[in-house]
Amino acid sequence: MRVSNRKKRGVSVDLTPMIDVVFQLILFFLVSTTFAILPAINVNLPESTTSKGAEIAGITITMHSNGKIWFNDEQVTFSSLGARLSKFDTEDRKKEEYPVTLEADENVTNGSIVKVFDILRNEGFVSINLRTSDK
């Protein structure tokens, strides 16, 4: 019996061009996608025509029209807000310079906002921004 030593030609598919195209598509979608980091707490902010942008980094206190209050993403009460603020680490910055953003629903009473302002000032935070929406 005779065995043939002929080499059979193998079929190979070059995947390099396909990998290049897929990589380019991934890069396109990563660059064209915008990422917005917003809290998942929805409030109807009051409209303002004279508002200016401010830095968002820092503490965000959100007040909903139903009376609920959030410290960043954690729900708190008026009494526990002061305790959370006193324990908050301002990362080697003075509390007077650390930014605080207050997001209050347009139906929140002025008295509730003043209570939060008093709590913030008692804990040493004075750089407070009120968040509004553009018209």
Within-domain flag for 111: yes
- Total of domains in the chain: 1
Give the residue-averaged pLDDT of 69-96: 85
What's the CATH number where 117 sits?
3.30.420.270
Domain that holds residue 105: 47-134
Amino acid identity of residue 62, one-letter, is: T
Is residue 78 in a domain?
A: yes
Residues paired with residue 70 on neighbouring β-strands, in sequence order: 62, 75
31 domain residue, yes or no: no
- What pLDDT is stored for residue 54 in this prediction? 59
pLDDT at 40: 58
Q: Is residue 36 part of a domain?
A: no
Q: What is the pLDDT of residues 22-48, one digit of tens each?
A: 999 999 888 887 665 555 566 667 777
Residue 66 half-sphere exposure toward CB, CA atoms < 13 A: 6
